[in-house]
Amino acid sequence: MRLSQLFTKTVRDAPGGEVSKNAQLLIRAGFVYKEMAGVYAYLPLGLRVIEKIKQIVREEMNPIDSQEIIMTSLQRKEIWEQTGRWSDETVDIWFKTKLKDETEVGLGWSHEEPIVEMLKQYVQSYKDLPLSVYQFQTKLRNELRAKSGIMRGREFVMKDMYSLHSSAEDLEAYYNRAIEAYRRIYARLGIGDDTYVTFASGGAFTKFSHEFQTICDAGEDVIYLHRGRNIAINEEVIDDAVAEMGINRDELEKVKTAEVGNIFNFGSQKTDDMGLRFTDANGNQASAYLGSYGIGITRVMGVVVEKLADEKGIVWPEAIAPAKVYLIRLGDNEAVMRHADELYATLTGRGIEVLYDDRDLRAGQKFADAELMGIPYRVTISDRLEADNKFELVVRQNGVQELLTQDELLAKLG
């Protein structure tokens, strides 16, 4: 994409009142637009990042036999009343509204109950199990405060997956497959090394649920790490967990983290409450076992920004960067412009995504924009470089700079 055509521009200062680093950087770089506190629109480059994260998640959910669907934002009161979760006392983040006939409806902050209700239509026999479905849904949550940018929004995109099983053992096995799929996702997103499967407060069925926590100063959680045994425990269950696992508290390291995913074993409580049962192989009615598995897509995008950014701006991992290369042409020398155009055509022809800074701006502004936007590879062509038949390549992550011929450059960028 030519930056002369892109309608967004970088800005020097984040808007007043925006206190989170991730939102400040994303707004300054032109990736997001703040509609109100906790509510952000995604502009062309931001949308590209979201779509890349979604695609990685999709590529890890499909192989564990989950099927993509899309539920609705508007939700019926009666469905949530079955489990006691319609009440604002029980769930304090509902947005609710009314149909013309005054019927109260909710706006989806979660989709467990609607999913179970929908699945009743398709699950009658043990032959219909196991099954797994997932969606990328825009969730609406009436958060009292929203000061963490896109890490905790009132409106945000979440991947939520739900699996249904004929036995606790089958759910347990799938739950473990999901943990492995999640590990692959965080590795691909570039935060795998600092992301821990963490014991957290359980629920209906199990003593603990599992969260995925990424070490991050801007995070809202605290976990205790046992690096030797690779165990992580959320602060909220630390007493129970150390007792259960026979860990000495002195061996634990306390770190600030951001939750980037959570998985939950509901056992058969929710399905029993909602009357989703099935006929087993002996012809008897049996309880079904439910697991749920969430990843906040926009939240994890915010965590990546918080964690990897440096003083110059965002640093995207290549897998989710809006483009791989930021191509800068300097000056108005015709040969330079022609060569830059040619290189742009060559790279895009090879399927490499390029932001081509063909704007009539000073070098300093172009370099600053490349750094703020966090594109992995910066390639510059100028009068002086042209004279030597060289391109300058700078790696955003570590600042390493090389002068390369076109062949060398193409070999490097693949």
Where along the sequence are the contacts to a copy of itself (CB under 8 A)?
5-9, 30, 33, 35-36, 39-44, 47, 50, 65, 67-76, 95-100, 105, 107, 114, 118-119, 121-122, 128, 131, 133, 138, 140, 142-144, 154-155
Block residue for tokens 């590879």? 377
Block residue for tokens 């995070």? 219
CB nearer to a copy of itself: pick between 114 and 190 = 114
Distance from C-alpha of 273 to C-alpha of 129, rounded to nearest angstrom: 19
Block residue for tokens 């193409």? 410
CB nearer to a copy of itself: pick between 60 and 155 = 155
Query: DSSP alpha helices (H): ranges in 218-351?
Result: 238-245, 269-274, 297-308, 334-349
CB of 121 to a copy of itself, least distance (A): 7
CB of 207 to a copy of itself, least distance (A): 30
CB nearer to a copy of itself: pick between 140 and 197 = 140
Contact 44, 3 (CB under 8 A): no
Q: Which residue type does 245 have?
A: M
CB nearer to a copy of itself: pick between 212 and 344 = 344
* Two structure tokens written together for 349: 């022809």
CB of 146 to a copy of itself, least distance (A): 9
Task: Report CA-CA distances (Å) from 124 to 119, 127, 280.
Answer: 9, 8, 9
Other Cβ atoms closer than 10 A to 365:
12
Distance from C-alpha of 10 to C-alpha of 282, rounded to nearest angstrom: 65
CB nearer to a copy of itself: pick between 122 and 207 = 122
DSSP E strands, 170-282: 195-201, 208-215, 221-226, 231-234, 253-267, 277-279
CB of 112 to a copy of itself, least distance (A): 14
Report the alpha-carbon angle 326-60-350, nearest 5.
30
CB of 393 to a copy of itself, least distance (A): 28
CB of 151 to a copy of itself, least distance (A): 16
CB nearer to a copy of itself: pick between 121 and 398 = 121
Peptide bond preceding 130 in cis form (omega within 30 of 0): yes
CB of 410 to a copy of itself, least distance (A): 26
* Two structure tokens written together for 233: 């425990």
CB of 9 to a copy of itself, least distance (A): 6
CB of 74 to a copy of itself, least distance (A): 5
Strand-strand pairing, 95-98 and 104-107: antiparallel
* Two structure tokens written together for 93: 């983040």
CB nearer to a copy of itself: pick between 37 and 308 = 37
CB nearer to a copy of itself: pick between 257 and 298 = 298
Q: What is the torsional sign of CA 386, 387, 389, 392? A: negative
CB nearer to a copy of itself: pick between 96 and 384 = 96
Q: What 8-state DSSP symbol labels residue 310? A: B
